[in-house]
Chains A and B, each alone.
Chain A
Amino acid sequence: MSGHSTYQPQNKFLQWFEKRLPLGGLIHSSFVAYPTPRNLNYLWTFGGILAFMLGVQIVTGVVLAMHYTPHVDFAFKSVEGIMRDVNYGWLLRYLHANGASMFFLAVYIHMFRGIYYGSYKEPREVLWILGVIIYFLMMATGFMGYVLVWGQMSFWAATVITNLFSAIPGVGDAIVTWLWGGYAVGNPTLNRFYSLHYLLPFVIAGVVVLHVWALHVAGQNNPTGIEPKSDKDTVAFTPYATVKDSFFMVVFCIVYAWFVFYIPNFLGHADNYIPANPAVTPTHIVPEWYYLPFYAILRAIPDKLLGVIALGASILILAFLPWLDTSKVRSARYRPLFKQFFWLFVIVCIGLGWLGAKPPEGIYVILARIFTVYYFAFFLIVMPLLGIFEKTKPLPNSISESVLGVKA
């Protein structure tokens, strides 16, 4: 990729500064002159939306931390204080709580986009793996943030998730005690979760920098999955991508605002408005919606250790995607069979999400098992074999040809 900066500041001070730290040139070459494929669709705006959501979560989170007390006796009260007493506290908390959901919604669209268009394939393997690391950090951060509210769901989510580690043979119980800092989830647990919940978003921000760096080294993928070959295939990041990203960010914010202002508790659980009670487990405990597919996989397997391994493997397997997919063709647009398996995979993921919220009995368990089998088969059987057996459609010669059609 080209994109070397032609940044020449006119201002005397900026010229002086640029000689000492070429920051302006870096920004200019990354976000102004940077060539982006001319055929990017709206699915490519989610990277920018995710960066925006990370910013929203950090800003609202930092101000919420000014009013929150990480102690078992005060945590729930301080959250209610934020809702009732703090100026605009209700807004800030709803922005933060629904922001987490929007963050995950955006990341799931971003990930499915990556799978559909083969964005993880050579030379973007490291870019993809950094993305998987970000996703994993997001899950840890989201989980610990949910615990801070210290309602019934918070407490029991903390108990169930930390107990996953007790499945490790031999050292499991010692690890769980170490995680808790006590003999059960309690004040030390809440304190450390608060510390880590504050830390991890900045770790995410750091990995995001690497993610964007790796993106700018390899260049963006595009709906055809073929690399830009000439200047005709690309347009400058600014104004083209900047405006497109901004427009769709506004559209996304409408959805976000609709949740915040009209149905702020739709994605939450009523049980979490009951203060944590270590003596009573709610009759129906479920995680937040964005963990439900993995929760369904955990429960689909009747053995504790194997269930935990399957849960971990279902996330870890994403990191191996670049090598599990053996097809030379990136984009599903030219892979008729893969396209069908992909949409089935999307349906299965949503189905697992639905099953994760259902009680673990009868038909739900059977369905969860079938869906779990497909989830893993998609990665371990479909992806490696399709590369060998699938007859792909002919690729266009260039991006501009696919957009403008072949000249007669």
Chain B
Amino acid sequence: MNKPPEERAKDVTTVSSAEHTRRDFLYIATGAVGAVGAAAVLVPLIAQMNPDASTIAAGAPIDVDLAPIADGQIIKVFWRSKPIFIFHRTKKEVEEAEKVNVASLPDPEPDSARVKQGHDQWLVVIGICTHLGCIPLAHQGEYGGWFCPCHGSVYDTSGRIRSGPAPKNLALPPYKFVSDTKIQIG
């Protein structure tokens, strides 16, 4: 205790650097437990920002009656706060969608992969532009499908991206036909 501080400091460094001691182990073990603990605390702090239970519960499947939708009409319903476009396509619009050269598309997908078999007049897509999330306008753009006013993406009657900055086709929500005139989304 009587030694000047620099002498005492020397004692400590000599001891600890000479060989691995129990104290070194305790330092490392304590540090490691502390680091794991700090990381564990981050889990709730980060996870709290994900959708909460009520939001997930409100995202349950919904039924949509198709009977009132006229030929060529597009309606908009909401599922999980996302707009869903339900497009009752005319014969001409279906043909247009089918006869496109798939290989020439930015996101190649045949029309048959985007509708349910035997219900090819019904196109059900998530109405969110795959560029930056705007809602495209129906029956606009040169391909008779949608046009996004934000950055100019153009979609065809199958909801496929044809031109503009959007990288992908309009996404398909999970849905099934409960009967010929009713679908369940979700």
A residues sitting closer than 8 Å to B (CB atoms) are 156, 159-160, 162-164, 166, 177-184, 186, 188, 192, 278-285, 299, 301-305, 307, 359-361
Contacts and interface: CB of A to CB of B under 8 A. Distances in A.
Given A192-B49, A279-B78, A303 B55 contact: no
Contacts of B148: 281
B182 interface: no
B131 interface: yes
B19 to A, nearest CB: 40
Contacts, number: 86
A352 B135 CA distance: 26
Q: Which 8 A-B pairs have the closest CB atoms?
A: A163-B133, A183-B80, A184-B81, A163-B132, A281-B134, A160-B132, A159-B133, A281-B135
B152 A361 contact: yes
B56 to A, nearest CB: 9
Interface of B: 46, 49-52, 55, 59, 76, 78, 80-83, 130-135, 137, 148-152, 165-167
11 contacts: A159-B134, A160-B132, A160-B150, A162-B133, A166-B132, A182-B81, A183-B55, A192-B49, A278-B81, A285-B134, A304-B165
A299 B164 CA distance: 10
Nearest to B46: A178
Contacts of A301: 165
A184 B152 contact: no
A209 to B, nearest CB: 26
A112 to B, nearest CB: 29
Given A160-B132, A183-B59, A305-B167, A283 B51 contact: no
A307 B165 contact: yes
Contacts of A280: 135
Contact of B149 (A179, A183, A192, A283): A283
A186 B78 CA distance: 13
A361 to B, nearest CB: 6
Given A281-B149, A304-B165, A182 B51 contact: yes
A304 B166 contact: yes
Given A156-B134, A278-B83, A285 B165 contact: no
Contacts of A164: 132
A181 B150 contact: no
Contacts of A160: 132-134, 150
